[in-house]
A and B are shown apart, each in its own frame.
Chain A
Amino acid sequence: MSPLERRYRRLIRAYPRAYRAAHGEELLDVLLGHTDPRRSRPPLREVVSLLANGLKERAWQATTAPAWSDGLHLGVTALCAASLAAWLPYAASIPLWCALSALALVLVVMGRVRPALPLALLTGIKSWALGTGVVFVDATPLPVEPAFLTPDPLYGLSGPLGAVAGPALACAGLAVLALREDRPRRRSPWWLATVPLLATAGPAWMSLDEPAPAVAVRIAAEAVTLAGAVWAGRLTGDLRWALAAALYLVAGSAAFAQHLMDQSRQDLAYWGLLAFLTLVAAVAPRGSRMRAFT
């Protein structure tokens, strides 16, 4: 295998697995046929194009599943990741609950919504119990102090509404999905990698007065993901990403609203950014070029 072919094969991995299996060799054949064989590296234009079109193909492939249930599953996945992330800095104090929350997330990512539902319910009730000081299953000493990433105790800033909004929405979404005969599709395991990115500020609305690098990581992760939702919706003319973004925004807004009077201008600006991107994600599909073409 020539270095050029090896590099093209690596770039074709930007495409979804199913597409690669069906058409990867055909694409490679045409790529090699249109590249000077003396080259060892693909032209930059083709590199950029392969990466961009691989991403586009991933977005298009996502639209093969029913829109509303797939969007709901996507939103529930994000909420479960955020719920686990909220507990991650406190894992040393509540290891069993963190493990259950992680298991729920793994099952949701695998599309196994029925076994995930009781786990999400259990961990959701525990969230509410920790937020309100009620004993549930085991008597966790309150406040739950963090081991890393954040200086604040668990739900110290967000209160009960912030503790329960995300898990409650996730459970409601899982219950709806569990009633359907069709199982949601398996999602990328990369969803598990988002947990440490979101774990920095706990469930409270993060303080931007003295933004730590970890807070900036969370802001960037959320903004980039929502921008991705805008892009995918615009490309395909599909609303599933907007639905998922709206679910995530509603859960985040609950914690934000509980302390509305105490929010700084920066906090408002950040919430405004998330709300704006969610709104754009909902509007963008209307202007889709592909929808106009059809």
Chain B
Amino acid sequence: MYFVLAALLDGPLHGHAIVGRVIELSRDRVKPSVSTLYGILERLTAQGTLIVDREEVVDGRNRRYFRITDRGRAIAEAEAERMHHAASVVRGRRDLGLA
């Protein structure tokens, strides 16, 4: 969920692009299946964390572009802060030569 929010920080993307961006941002560590990604997108949209920015029809098929809301941005930043703090616990020991 975190990488999905992170993937949308630079602007609206459609499903295809979100999968690629999540893989890229996570350095191949997170490879969501398409249906799992869409499950996450539907829930985040229902909660108001994302909204559908626009819809386009490509080759006769609908394509939704998802945009992160202010609320989603706040959740992503809070999660980043939490992980930064968690990382600093270990890094701090290493910097002090305790690791």
Contacts and interface: CB of A to CB of B under 8 A. Distances in A.
Interface of A: 23, 25-31, 33-34, 45-46, 49-50, 52-54, 56-57, 60, 290, 293-294
B38 A53 contact: yes
18 contacts: A23-B64, A26-B15, A26-B61, A26-B62, A27-B38, A29-B15, A30-B34, A34-B34, A45-B33, A46-B35, A49-B34, A49-B36, A53-B35, A53-B36, A53-B39, A56-B39, A60-B46, A290-B43
Nearest to B33: A49
Question: Mostly helix, strand, loop or mixed at chain A's interface?
Answer: helix
B62 A54 contact: no
A294 B64 CA distance: 23
Contacts, number: 60
Nearest to B39: A53
A152 to B, nearest CB: 47
Given A30-B16, A33-B16, A25 B35 contact: no
How many of chain B's residues touch chain A, expressed as a range?
A: 20 to 34
B47 interface: yes
Ranked nearest first, the 7 interchain pairs of A and B with the lowest CB-CB distance are A49-B33, A53-B35, A30-B15, A29-B61, A25-B61, A53-B39, A49-B35
A29 B63 contact: yes
Contacts of B60: 25
Nearest to B60: A25
Contacts of A53: 35-36, 38-39
Nearest to B55: A26
Contacts of A34: 16, 19, 34
A30 to B, nearest CB: 4
B75 to A, nearest CB: 8
A290 B58 CA distance: 32
A50 to B, nearest CB: 5
A169 B42 CA distance: 37
A33 B20 CA distance: 11
Contacts of A29: 15-16, 58-59, 61, 63
Given A45-B33, A49-B36, 4 more contacts: A23-B64, A27-B34, A46-B34, A53-B39
A26 B64 contact: yes
B35 A294 contact: no
B71 to A, nearest CB: 10
Contacts of A30: 15-16, 19, 34, 38
Contact of B38 (A23, A25, A293, A294): A23
Contacts of B1: 293
